[in-house]
Amino acid sequence: MNLSNGKTLAASGQNRNGTSGSWEDAGRVVKPSTPTRKPQPPKPENAVTIAVSSRVLFNMEPEQQYLKYQVEHENEPFSPGPAFSFVKALEAVNTRLRELYPQSEELFDVVLVTNNHAHVGLRLINTINHHHLFIERFCMTGGNSPIGYLKAYHTNLYLSADSAKVREALEEGIAAATMFTQEKMKEVSESQLRVAFDGDGVLFSDESERIFKAHGLDKFFEHEKAHENKPLDHGPLKGFLEALGKLQRKFFDKGLRMDCPIRTYLVTARSAASSAGAPKGPMLEKIRPHIFFDDQMFHVEGAAELGTVACHVPYGIAQKVAKK
């Protein structure tokens, strides 16, 4: 079964608990019913929507391309991928939010995005149940671009292993980053979400980075001094940080500023124009974020080597330099 008209693929079957599973049109995506009653997912316009590809939520390679293998092993769950702990932390925050605001739909909402065949979808459903993940929305693109679906879900962040799709999302103004499978991953908090960001080219524009690349470090410092009272323009992930801040304030309003389950960090080598700065891996190793975003592979690779789940934001001048 393969669609060529941009619609999602539909399939149905039985999951590991004997409940029915289904893949439907992306506008109506639902997860199979489960034996216990769970809260309904929020409307996309009210939620902080995180779209995650199946290849980063679970370790699906190398056998993912073999349909016969997937059908024969549909009851064997995939192991957790690099985005798994991040998604679990989102669910932990949702639990706290529902306790404080039972009627509110201002929650994290995870959408699983995949190009895989519908029969692989059955194994994905079984895997989600096995790991007790609360994912109610699925989007199977049939190999087509996910951009239309991401916009329909009002996506605040898109995580994928496909760098071309990440670039396409960024070009459409959707916060996005490329995730990589890594051998080493540090243990992270199960109750507190920790998200770390680079500055230039991630939260902020790469204006200063362009000055440094074109004219050197002295001109960079001159530019910084001349514009020290002028805020930098926004970068591709500024909106996602703002969405996190909005949920943080809901905890602050309940007097939980010190006990807030959302922590955000700015980790930058800005004093030496990021590309010349010290490695960020050692600092991130102490922070132990669930996810770290940087526009330079040097820092992404360095963080990953020390066990931090690091994502690449292919944005701005750093990408042009890297291609040379």
Which amino acids are annotated catalytic?
198
Please report, for residues 40, 83, 100, 235, the alpha-carbon distance to residue 251 in angstroms, rounded to integers and kept in the order given.
22, 24, 8, 26
How far apart CA 278 and CA 6 sit, in angstroms, is: 45
- Amino acid code (one letter) for 178: T
How many residues are present in the chain? 324
Got the DSSP string for 165-203? HHHHHHHTT--EEE----S------SSSEEEEE-TBTTT
Q: In a 3-state reduction of DSSP, which class is residue 311?
A: strand
Residue 115 CA to residue 138 CA, distance in Å, equals: 11
- Per-residue burial over 31-51, b if 16 or more Cβ lie within 10 Å, else e, is bbeeeeeeeebbebeebbbbb
Distances (CA, A) of 95 to 90, 100, 108, 154, 160: 9, 9, 10, 22, 25
